[in-house]
Amino acid sequence: MKGLLPLLGAWFGRLAFRLGVRRRVALEGLARAFPELDAPARSRLALSAYQGFGRSLGELWRVRRLSDAELERIVSFDGFDRYEKAAAPGKGVVVAVGHFGNWELLMRACARRGVKLTVLRRDLRDYFSRRLFAARRKAGVGELLDKGVAGDAVALLRRGGTLALAVDQNMQARRGIFVDFFGTPACTTPAPAVLSLRTGAPLIAAFPIRQADGTHRVLVEGPFAAPPGARGHAAVVALTQEVTRAVERAVRAHPDHWYWLHRRWKTRPA
């Protein structure tokens, strides 16, 4: 998406990087994920990621005024038929998403396409988060808070709903499981795998990728499945690892799209 607001957003992202806003965290994450790159290359990647995040914020201000036809032109899907096939049996769909590309634009594009999307989110109450969540609701995106909500999530899927969950955030040890991410154990939410296995809802993943002309193309992967014969906790771990591998593939292909400001490997195994 082109225009003044995305350009301003990219400029603010560049400014935040130059001012050192969580720059050390971003560079440490890039060093862990891409040890083969030298420091200047990682610094350039980090700057691009900051600019991309700022551009995404600018795009969100514009998208509120776009018609369905305009949004359809800006956001296209590579593999939307995967979602349609997953949804066809009526068991609901679990969608794994990441802090990758313009994930907020992805949610709005899905809602505009008629997807009855609900997002599982954290209970953040700062001013920016409140405005962001209000804009989601106005766009037709439902929400569930991520604490004590398992029963509601299961009920939503059994009604045939679509539930999106972020799978690339660091978790506290008591709430997550460790799977490999860029060669290092990362504490990861098991919720998508648990909900998929419990309800029979297919588990897929979606990654919005910004194109050179300013449009976005959403890559849809899956459905993912645990290995034959895996049961219980072993199935949850295997399925969570499969989804995490999909995130890693997307980040390796487009490292400037990921939110490196987050301390993904903060929780360490005992």
- Residue 8, domain member (yes or no): no
| Cβ–Cβ < 8 Å for 104, 136 | yes
Structural domain containing residue 111: 74-255
Angstrom CA distances, 211 to 13, 75, 76, 188, 216, stand at: 19, 10, 11, 29, 6
Lookup: tokens for 254:
């487009």
CA pair distance 184, 177, nearest whole angstrom: 13
What pLDDT score was predicted for residue 11? 96
- Residue 118, domain member (yes or no): yes
- Residue 27, domain member (yes or no): no
Whose structure tokens read 């300013």? Answer: 214
Tell me the average pLDDT across 57-85. 87
For the stretch 9-32, pLDDT in tens is 999 999 999 999 999 999 999 999
Q: Single out the residue of 244, 203, 246, 207 nearest to residue 225, CA to CA.
A: 203
Angstrom CA distances, 259 to 19, 52, 80, 110, 112, stand at: 17, 9, 24, 21, 25
Check whether 2 has a pLDDT greater than 70: no
Lookup: tokens for 18:
């130059």
Average predicted confidence (pLDDT) for the chain: 93
Share of the chain above pLDDT 70, in %: 99
For the stretch 159-177, pLDDT in tens is 999 999 999 999 999 999 9
- Residue 194, domain member (yes or no): yes
- Residue 175, domain member (yes or no): yes
Check whether 1 has a pLDDT greater than 70: no
Number of domains composing the chain: 1
Beta strands in the chain (DSSP E): 75-78, 93-97, 117-121, 142-145, 162-166, 177-181, 184-188, 203-210, 216-224
Check whether 139 has a pLDDT greater than 90: no
More confident residue, 127 or 1: 127
